Each structure stands twice: as structure tokens, then as C-alpha cells.
Amino acid sequence: MARLIEPNQFLRDVFDVAVARADPMLCVPAHLPPKPDGRVVILGAGKASARMAEAVEAAWGPCHGYVITRYGYARPCSGIKIVEAAHPVSDQAGVDATQHLLELAKGLGAEDTVIMLISGGGSSLLCAPASDITLADKQALNSAMLASGMPIGDINGIRKEISGVKGGRLAAAVYPATLHALLISDVPGDNPSDIASGPTVGYAGHAALAIETLKKWGVEPPATIAAHLASGGDPMAIDDPRLAGIKNTIVAAPSHSLAAAEEYAKDHGVEVRVLSDSLEGEARDLAAQQAEMAVQIAIENLPHPVLLLSGGECTVTRTGDGVGGPNAEFTLAAAIALKGHPRIHVMACDTDGVDGAAEVAGAIADPTTLALAEAMEVSPRGALERNNAHGFFAKINGQIITGPTLTNVNDFRAFLVMP
């Protein structure tokens, strides 16, 4: 028998359970190796990295190290220095912090041990432009790629080609020290080479592929970047001897959080159907597809609630001038597709608490959403056309605002079909 009381609150509770499962204080200590006897240095970057550093010191006591996280995501540490920089577009603070981190890494020897703490967001926070590329060039390219709808895997491949720290280069700087990397995955497939653009993993791509990808998505790179790619770049091969012996361990992933959400829902008498933890694609297209699945579940007329779950990373091709975000846009498109269905509720949020460039995790829609918008003279379709999903949900009080969650295992999407 279901113990479900209020559908919208249940969806928020399920999301909170998923985020809690990825808390570094829970998942990092279980994967730490025994503390070495010699010098240990903690390095890291990402939206979860400061919380990961806090977890390391909770287990080992004060440590020496340097970690870069997003503005607002710092945590108190006794010995590890935590610095903040910009995300999703890098800033000078990130450049300066990365240079300091590289200098620290290059001063290590074979008798030293490095614990590298990596999570999503590290691609922007670790910023060391290659060759003659400037910060402004990287900022312009990154903004253009994010607006183009390019999949995150392609974006990260290009980032590796123009960086002095990504694609294994940070690990090479640490060599010959022993390196253990602990990673929180925010990418479909959980491949360490894709998390934060793989600072501890060599790159299998090449500059010509990056050029082709930019052309495919209609992104014109700044002249310095175009010249760097035309020259062939400076890739670090996967089999580079400086990368041998590195241990990369994923301590939290989208699948873990979906499993926790599934267990919670089942404990409350709700049937769960998990689509995938690694779905990618245009947010509005995925929303329409999953809304249709939810409608088909409703047609089954089951005597209990059904929760349809998925994870991964949606993209938004920006053609409008609004304040969007893939999770809010997913929820808005789903609400439109559902047409006020009386038994279906939907929520989509980013587990790091930041959807796109907005300080909002995502949004929730229920059978009253479209009617409420009409009463307030707010156009759902107009908002979708303008990529203004955050603006839409702000007006009808449908935003999910968590503040910094201190972790990041990507998007969390849920449809709740009531009996």
C-alpha cells in the first residue's frame, strides 16, 4: 500500500535522497587508501571538490593541499587551501588558481603521494590556456559551445585540445609522485576521461576531430584557437608513461543516486521504472518522449503510483534571449506535452543545484501548471521559444532552489504517475 501523501513533496524528497547519496562525506572516506607514511598532498577541482577535501580531512586529519571550487561552494578545511573561481565560464581567478596548483604539482617527487579530488565543473575551474590562447578566447569559445547544443563529450574533447592541464596534463605535472584520483561522475557513461575533461587521463582524440566538431555545430573559434588546432595541438597520449600506474576511482555516480531514489520510492509503495542514468539529447525532445511514456503508464490504470526516473545530461540549443537551463526547459516542455494531465507530475533538477547558468536546481510541474500560467497570463510556449524556462517557473513559483549541494552527479528527472 502506497504511503504517498503529496505528489510534489514526494518528488522533492526523492530528489533530496538522490543528492544525499552523492554527498562526498559519505562516499569519499570509503574509497580512501590507507594514509601513506610519507608526504601527502591533496589536489583537486570541481563543484564537489571542497566537500571532498573536507571528507578527506575528516578521515585523515589536517592535510596539505590546494583545491579549486565554484564560487559559493567552499568548505572549511584545516590544512587544505580552498580557492573559488567561476563556472561554467572560466575567469582570471581560475587561471591564477590553476597556475598555483600546477606549480605545487611540479614540485613533487617519487617519494610523494597525491590524492586528486575531481568532480564535474573542473573543466571550467581548471583553466590553463595552451599556446598563445588567451582567457578571453577560451571564454568566448566556451560560451559559444554551451549555446550551440553541443553534447558535453564533444565540448570536453575540444577543451582538452586547447588546455595545458586537461587530458592527462595535470597528472603528467604530478609525475613521478604516486597518484590516486577520486572522482565524482557527472557524465554519461562515467568515463574518467570525460569527468572535468580528464585531467588524470590521456586523450584519444586529435585536433582534426576538434575542428570537425566545431564545424558540425556551427561554432567559429577565435583566431588563436583556430591556429592552435590547425597546428595539430599537443595531445597527451593515453599510453604516455607518465600516466602509467595512476589509479582512477569513481566514488559517486548518477547510477548510485538513481538507485537510492528507487529504493526510497519502493519503500513508500511506489513502483519505479528507471529508463537510464546516461540519457543525452535536446531537453525539449527528451521531455516530449518521456511525457508520452508517462501518459502510457497512466493509461495502464495501475492501483499504485509509478515513478519514471532518468539521469544523464540534456542540452539546450539557445535561439532565444531568455534565462534557460536544461532541467527547467525539460520540465517546461514536459508540462506542455502533458497538457495538464490530471494524474502526472514532473520534476527535473541538476544535482549540483545549478541549472545552466542560473542559481536554481530546476523546476517542478503538476496538473495545475498550465492553468496557473494562463491565469497569470504567462505563455508556456512563448517561454519555451525564448529559452526562458527559468523566467516562466519563477513567475508561477515552480522553481526548485537548493543552494550549493556540494556534489554533482548530473541531471535528475522524474515523472510521478498517480493511480
pLDDT digits (tens, 9 = 90+) for 305-357: 999 999 999 999 989 999 889 999 999 999 999 999 999 999 999 999 999 87
Where do we find the cell 597518484?
179
Where do we find the cell 591564477?
96
Q: Which three cell numbers stand for residue 414?
A: 522524474
Helix and strand numbers, DSSP H then E, in the chain = 16, 13
Q: State whether residue 179 is helix, strand or coil.
A: strand
Kindly state whether residue 249 falls inside one of the protein's structural domains.
no
Kindly state whether residue 305 falls inside one of the protein's structural domains.
yes
b/e per residue 90-121 (b: at least 16 CB within 10 A): bbebbbebbeebbebbeebeeebbbbbbbbbb
- The answer to whether residues 234 and 263 belong to one domain is no
Kindly state whether residue 150 falls inside one of the protein's structural domains.
yes
**What's the DSSP call for residue 243?**
G
Give the span between the Cα atoms of 290 and 288, in whole angstroms: 6
Q: Identity (one letter) of the amino acid at 267?
A: D
Give the span between the Cα atoms of 86 and 88, in whole angstroms: 6
Q: Give me the CATH number covering residue 384.
A: 3.40.1480.10
- The answer to whether residues 273 and 383 belong to one domain is yes
Q: Residue 399: beta bridge partners? A: 363
- Of 238, 263, 295, the one marking the end of a domain is 238
- The answer to whether residues 132 and 224 belong to one domain is yes
Q: Are 69 and 84 in contact (CB under 8 A)?
A: yes
Q: Residue 219: beta bridge partners? A: none
Task: Count Cα atoms within 13 angstroms, Cβ side, for 322.
Answer: 24
Domain that holds residue 336: 7-19+255-417
Helix (H) or strand (E) holding 212, with range, is: helix 207-216
Give the span between the Cα atoms of 265 and 305, in whole angstroms: 10
- The answer to whether residues 133 and 186 belong to one domain is yes
270: left (phi over 0), alpha (psi -120 to 50) or beta: beta
The candidate with the shortest Cα–Cα distance to 116, out of 28, 16, 228, is: 28
Give the span between the Cα atoms of 126 and 121, in whole angstroms: 9
- The answer to whether residues 69 and 118 belong to one domain is yes
- The answer to whether residues 282 and 133 belong to one domain is no
- Of 178, 207, 238, the one marking the end of a domain is 238
Kindly state whether residue 81 falls inside one of the protein's structural domains.
yes
Kindly state whether residue 2 falls inside one of the protein's structural domains.
no
Q: Which three cell numbers stand for residue 25?
A: 562525506
Question: Which pLDDT score, from 0 to 100, does residue 124 have?
Answer: 93
Question: Which pLDDT score, from 0 to 100, does residue 305 have?
Answer: 97
Kindly state whether residue 246 falls inside one of the protein's structural domains.
no
Question: Which pLDDT score, from 0 to 100, does residue 233 have?
Answer: 74
- The answer to whether residues 384 and 304 belong to one domain is yes
Interacting residues of 42 by C-beta distance below 8 A, sequence separation 6+: 53, 56, 63, 64, 65, 66, 67, 80, 114, 115, 117
Dihedral, CA of residue 107, residue 109, residue 114 and residue 119, to nearest 10: 50
Kindly state whether residue 293 falls inside one of the protein's structural domains.
yes
CB neighbourhood size of 74 (10 A)? 19
- The answer to whether residues 276 and 399 belong to one domain is yes
Question: Which pLDDT score, from 0 to 100, does residue 1 have?
Answer: 40
> Which ranges of the chain have pLDDT less than 50?
1
Question: Which pLDDT score, from 0 to 100, does residue 4 have?
Answer: 57
- The answer to whether residues 233 and 261 belong to one domain is no
Q: Are 234 and 390 in contact (CB under 8 A)?
A: no
First-to-final CA distance of the chain = 12
Kindly state whether residue 189 falls inside one of the protein's structural domains.
yes
- The answer to whether residues 168 and 293 belong to one domain is no
Per the structure, how many domains does the chain have?
A: 2
- Of 206, 238, 270, the one marking the end of a domain is 238
Q: Is 221 exposed, middle or buried (0-12, 13-18, 19+ CB in 10 A)?
A: buried
Question: Which pLDDT score, from 0 to 100, does residue 3 have?
Answer: 56
Interacting residues of 377 by C-beta distance below 8 A, sequence separation 6+: none
Q: Give me the CATH number covering residue 227.
A: 3.40.50.10180
- The answer to whether residues 155 and 298 belong to one domain is no
Compute CA distances 357 → 132, 143, 328, 350, 353, whole Å: 28, 11, 12, 11, 11
- The answer to whether residues 13 and 47 belong to one domain is no
Q: Are 35 and 58 in contact (CB under 8 A)?
A: no
Q: Are 351 and 405 in contact (CB under 8 A)?
A: yes
Where do we find the cell 575542428?
211
Where do we find the cell 511514456?
293
